Amino acid sequence: MKNLEILKKGYQNFAEGNIEAVLSTWAEDIVWEECPGMPMVEGDGKIVGRNAVLEKILAKIPEYIDGFNLEIREFVDGGDKIVMVGYYNGTYKATGKKFHAQATHTWTMKDGKSVHFYQAVDTATIINP
C-alpha cells in the first residue's frame, strides 16, 4: 500500500471513530507537533509516542470541542512527505462558538508508518469568541 493510501485510510478511520486502526498506522515513537494555540495543548505541543498522543491530544478533543470533524480538501503527495490541506469544524465549548478553521498536516512516512506529524492550524478561529 502506498503512503498516500495509508494516510487516507487513517483519516477515514479517524472519521469513523476507529482510533485503534489509526494508531496502528503510526510508528510507536511518532513525533507529533501540535500547534501550541490548540486548547488541549500543553507547552510547545511536541509529543513523542503514539500512546502519549492518544492521551494528551486525541482523548482530550471531546473535553474542549463538540462535533469535531476534519474536512479534507486535498492531499499533496511527495512520497515520504504528504500534506493534507483542509479545515477543522466543531464548536469550542468554552465559548459555544462554531468554527471552520484552516488546517494543514504534514506527515513523514517511513516503512509504511507515520513517523512525524506537523500541524498548522488557524487556532485563533477556534478559540476566539
Q: What is the pLDDT of residues 6-21, one digit of tens each?
A: 999 999 999 999 999 9
Domain boundaries, the chain: 3-127
d(CA 110, CA 31): 12
Indicate the pTM of the whole model: 0.93
How do strand 26-33 and strand 113-121 relate by DSSP bridges? parallel
Q: Is 106 left (phi over 0), alpha (psi -120 to 50) or beta?
A: beta
d(CA 97, CA 125): 10
Q: Which CATH number does 3-127 carry?
A: 3.10.450.50
Confidence of residue 129 (pLDDT cuts 50, 70, 90): low
- Region 97-103 average pLDDT: 96
